[in-house]
Every structure is written in C-alpha cells, then in structure tokens.
Amino acid sequence: MASHDASKIKPTDLSEAQAKAELKRLAGEIAAHDKRYYQQDAPTVTDAAYDALRQRNAAIEAHFPALIRADSPSRRVGATPAGKFKKVRHAVPMLSLDNAFAEQDVVDFIARIRRFLKLDEKEKISFSAEPKIDGLSMSLRYEGGELVTAATRGDGAEGEDVTANIRTIKDVPHKLKGRNVPPVCEVRGEVYMTKSAFLALNERQKASGGQIFANPRNSAAGSLRQKDPTITASRPLGFFAYSWGEMSEMPADTQSGMIKWFESSGFKTNPLTKLCRSTEELIAFHRKIEEARAELDYDIDGVVYKVDRIDWQERLGFVSRTPRWAIAHKFPAERATTVVRGVLITVGRTGALTPTAQLDPVGVGGVIVQNVTLHNEDYIKGIGGDSEPLREGRDIRIGDTVIIQRAGDVIPQVVDVVIDKRPRDAKPYHFPTKCPCYLHTDIVREETATGEEGARARCTGEFACPFQKIEHLKLFCSRRAFDIEGLGEKQIELFFEKGWIKEPADIFTLPERNKKIKLEQEEGYGETSVRNLFEAIEQRRKISLDRFIYALGIRHVGETTALALARGYGSWKAFHDAGLKVGKGDEETIAEMDAIDQIGDTVIQAIAAYFGESHNRGIVERLTKEVKILDTEKPKKDTAIAGKTVVFTGALEKMTRDEAKAQAERMGAKAAGSVSKKTDYVVAGPGAGSKLADAKKLGVKVLTEDEWLKLVGG
C-alpha cells in the first residue's frame, strides 16, 4: 500500500512497513512546515492541522518505538513546545526585591540601612538607581570568559536551562571582552522585548494565525521558553545586564563600577542608570523616569535603588528572600472600571473561604483582568476586616460597577464602588454559612488572639473536606515545595476525583499502581506523557528539609519559617521528634523551638496542632517511606563559632543586633531568640535584661561585644 494511503489508517492498525513509511512522510512534512513558519514567517497550514501531524507522529512512535527515526520531530531540539527544560541549580540564589509604593517607603528604606549599619546622618550613602525592566530575569554563567550556561530565575534556587535560546540574542556576548575577566562569573539581567517589536510580532502572529501575546513581557517569556532556538532567534529580544551571581573575583567594589565593567565586557546596560547621593536625588530620579515612561520603547514598572558600596551590600545581607540593600520603587497603581457579574467562593488548604468577584474583562496595568479577590465577608460589606476597607457604605453587590486597580505585580483589587450606577434590584451579598463542598459543613468565623470574632471564615470540615485535601496536594506539588512537573492544578483535581491520589504518599506509589489504573488510556495522555510524568515523580524522591517542611502544609509555616526550622534542627529526624514532643505539650522542647530565631508562639501552636493530630501523623509516616529528606547543609567548620547557638541581648555599640545575627549565621552559627540549656554564648550589651539573667541561671557563657568580636576575628 502506498504511503499516502497509509495516512488514512489509525496508528494502531498500521503494519510495520506502513508505519515506517508514515514516519518518513511525517518527518519531511513537519520539517517543511517548521521552516516556513519559524524561519520564513509564512505558514501554509493552521495550528490545528500542524498539531494533528505531530500528534499522529507521536502516536505511531508510541506504537512502534523501534521505528523512531534519527530525524524524527520528537528528537529535534524543541520539537514539542510542551517539552521539558533541564533544571539548573543557581550557585547563588536569584532573589526578588522588596517594594516601595510611596516616597515615605523610600525614606524608611534608607533609615533601615542607617540603623543596620549604625551610620549617622552625616555619613553619605550613594545609590545606583535604574529603571525596573518588566521582562524575564536571567543568569548567564561564564567560565574562562566563555558562555556555558543560561538559566531562568525559576524559584530563585533552581531555574531552567535556556542556553541554546540565549545564544540567539545579539545583546548577549558568547565571549567576554577585555583582560579583567574572572575565571568564573555569573552576569544577571533582564531579557525583554521592545514595545515596537512586540506590536510588530503580534501583527505577524495575527496574520499567520499564531498566538497573540498580552504584553511585551509575556511575548519575551514565551519566545525564550521555546524548545526550538530558531523560534527564539526569529523574535526580537534584548538583554540589559545589571547584577551578578557567583564571581571568583570582583572586578569592581561598587555597583556602579560593576555596571561599567559589564559594558566593557560586551554587555548592554541601561543608559538611564544614575548614581544618586541623597533621598532627594532618588525621588527626583523616580519622578523623571515616571514622566519619561510613556516615551521609552520598553515596559518598566518602577525604579530600583541599590546601595552602591558592595562591602555595605555584603554587610546588609538578606532578609527572607529579599536583599536589605535594594528596593523597587513602583509606579502608582493603574485603575479601570468594570462590572461585577458574580461572586465565586473557593476553599483553601486550611479551610479559609475566599470570595472572588467575576468581572467583565477589562485591561489594567498591562493585563486583562476577569477575576479579583474580595478578601472576606467584611470586605464585601464595606466594613474592613483583615484588608483595607472600602469607603463606608460601599458594599459590593452583583451588578455593581466597580473601580479596580493594579500596581506592578500586585494582585488586582476593588478600591471603590460607583454607587450612581448600581442597578435598582441589586441586593446585598449574603456570605455562605455552609461549605460549598458536598459535605455542606458549617462555616465559622475564627477568633482573634483577644477572643473577638475575626474576619476570616473557615470550613469546619477539616480533613474530611475535599477542597482542603485538593489544595494541600496542590501546595505539595507546587514549585517551592516538591515541584513535580506534570502535576499541575488540573491534573491533581482529575487524579483526586478519580481516587488515584488522595494524599501525598499516593503520588509516589502511582507508577506502581498504574498497572491497574492505566493512565495512558485517559484522554489527553499517552505512553510518552505518562512516562514523562513518572520520571518527574521519581526525580523528586529526594528533597531538601526546608522544602519538605513547607510541603507538609502546616498552618503559619511558609517558606521563610520552614527554612528557619530546617536550619534550626538540621535533619528531618530532629524536627520530627521535636514536632511530636511539641504536639504532646513537652515544655522543654517548646522552649527550645521558641529559641529558634523567627519562630514564635503562633508557629509553635500550629506545629503542635499538626503533630497532635493522628491523621497528620499517618500522612507523614506513609510519605517518609517514599522519599529521602536531605539534611540541611552543615555549618562551616573553619570558624570558631560554627555549629554554636548564640543569643544577642542588649544594645550593641559597634554593630546592630541584626547585623550581628547575620554575621553569626554567615560563619555557621545559629542565632537564637531566647536562652536555653543548648545556648553556647550570650552576647550582652548595655541594657541586657532577662536573657542575661537566664544565661547566668543556666550557666551559659556570657560575652561582651568586644569579646565576641575577638572570638569571630573582628
């Protein structure tokens, strides 16, 4: 039978000879379409027809794996946009910036720096100020001056390898210029697309029936994450360098000096970057850039200020996931008017009910907004709650015309109701008293610490509520927890509904149980996609302690708290044992946990409640049989205080307490918040009170600030 006749036969009904001929035909046809679309911008088939060819090729290969060709579309780089990128671990984490929205926030930011570094008002602080490009963060690693790896920011610790695509951007040098190039250097910056290029691209996409992008940032991200570098090469992308990661040597000792070095090495830097020497200069720079914003050919959403002296940056360090020495001063929020068409209630992992307004679609702040959070019942009623209230009497009703705003990346919110446009038949919204799940369990308003009724409403269904179970599974698989590729929200909801995954441990037993489930027979799945999913699950059988603690979904234990607990206990066994004891009310263990910096009563009570519940203990026991939890990285062994627990009390005179804590942690010590029998040193300054008394009572060694500095080498 001729090969063109074979194109009408189902893949499962093909003979081996027919399959071989079909794969040859498809390889040639798809390659020709790729060339016309990606290189010539002149496609001759619709996306649907092109996808059908690829799907047929994949189906035949799945049925005849021995016949897969060397030139198969599935083997070419970027043959399928849904393919996976290799993960890259950042040598130095790529962190995000804290935000300032008002001029007073900038004043406060500088005041915090002065307090931390103990600088008087006469000491000048210079800042490097630059426009905040609304693009995609990128880290470029050079070894011996040659570009070896390019990675996206990802979750800050781990990104995606997009080296082949980055090489197509003309602003990124493949080899660094000059003689002053460190053996290892990571240059960081922003991949972006100009507004004019974005409009031209969308015109081409529209003409060819391709994807229309919402804004330049989305188009830059979409272009960069193509598996086929020829697609990226066809897109007009740019790159501004502004920061660095791992550096074997520092070519300069200031931020502004590093910008000049980037330029001399062959990078493009933002020409609007300026050195400012006062708060007034920073504010003036922000106003100037805001005025020029509309004239720039690239999107910006604010201005970034960075302490210019790198030695001060190092002393200031980081808090949580943001540097103390830099801040993003965002532009004022953009607003738009639309109509509320409905209110959707969702139930979160901890049972909290969140109302969302369903809106007529409206563009604001560069995106199309269709849904916006209403926070809680009191917010809808216009009487406040745990978020900024609307003006008195401005309750929100279905049919109301509302004003929404969006500032930078902040979630859009309703800021006012246009009462004059309210429909006559609009009635006040009544918050549900029963959970929307099939159990219809009661909804209660939680109490505050003072015993008063709080704004947050919760489902009392606890572990029986299917919504809470699903949300827990979503958190467990999320990027900052186990990060299991292929298990997104839709897949989790499907697998839960089917009864295949009811708790975290079920994820890791899924491959074995698939002999009975036969996932590859489910619509949207095939042998390849199932194999990829199971490989992704297998890759996550090892996990760091902080990610594991976060993935458990303990209330009030977010990423920062999980990291503090991981550093405090070091191993899963130590934390697990402490959790069980805290759950039983062991006072000594509670005191030890309370001594960990950043851990307080609220977190301890949440951990006690979690481990005090037999259902949770069962979940944890079954899960830990399926995964290996890695110990937290051991403290440095080459310092005098490595592995020691230190408490600072009183007013230190040569550095702030925050700076002393940061210094101790950099040298491998644990900075605790209270004194216990396990404390090694208490560093006491003038005005030391109860902590000093506790140290003397427990026989803990007490040091003056000078003795401490001598111990740590200055």
Helices (H), 398-557: 466-477, 489-498, 504-517, 527-539, 545-551
Three-state secondary structure readout of 249-314: CCCCCEHHHHHHHHHHCCCCCCCCCEEECCHHHHHHHHHHHHHHHHHCCCCEEEEEEEECEHHHHH
Three-class SS of residue 140? strand
143 Cβ contact partners less than 8 Å away, ≥ 6 residues apart: 183, 184
280 Cβ contact partners less than 8 Å away, ≥ 6 residues apart: none
DSSP state of 38: I
End-to-end CA gap in the chain: 85
- In contact, 404 and 362? CB cutoff 8 Å: yes
Look up 132 and say whether it is catalytic.
Answer: yes
Q: How far is Cα 611 from Cα 615, in angstroms, rounded to an integer?
A: 9
CA 92 to chain centre: 16
> Counting runs of H as helices and runs of E as strands, what totals does the chain give?
25, 26
Q: How far is Cα 6 from Cα 52, in angstroms, rounded to an integer?
A: 15
Which residue in 383, 386, 407 sits closest to 395, CA to CA? 383
Which residue in 269, 245, 259 sits closest to 186, CA to CA? 245
Burial of 247 (0-12, 13-18, 19+ CB in 10 A): middle
Element (DSSP H or E) covering residue 696 = helix 690-698
Residue 501's φ and ψ, nearest 5 degrees, are -130, 115
Q: How far is Cα 105 from Cα 288, in angstroms, rounded to an integer?
A: 18
Helices (H), 544-686: 545-551, 559-569, 572-583, 587-594, 601-611, 614-624, 657-666
Which residue in 648, 656, 653 sits closest to 114, CA to CA? 656
Which residues are registered as beta bridge partners of 241? 189
- In contact, 570 and 631? CB cutoff 8 Å: yes
Per the residue annotation, which of 132, 227, 581, 661 is the catalytic one? 132
Q: How far is Cα 577 from Cα 569, in angstroms, rounded to an integer?
A: 10
- In contact, 206 and 53? CB cutoff 8 Å: no
Residue 175's φ and ψ, nearest 5 degrees, are -135, 135
* Residues annotated as catalytic (active site), given as ranges: 132
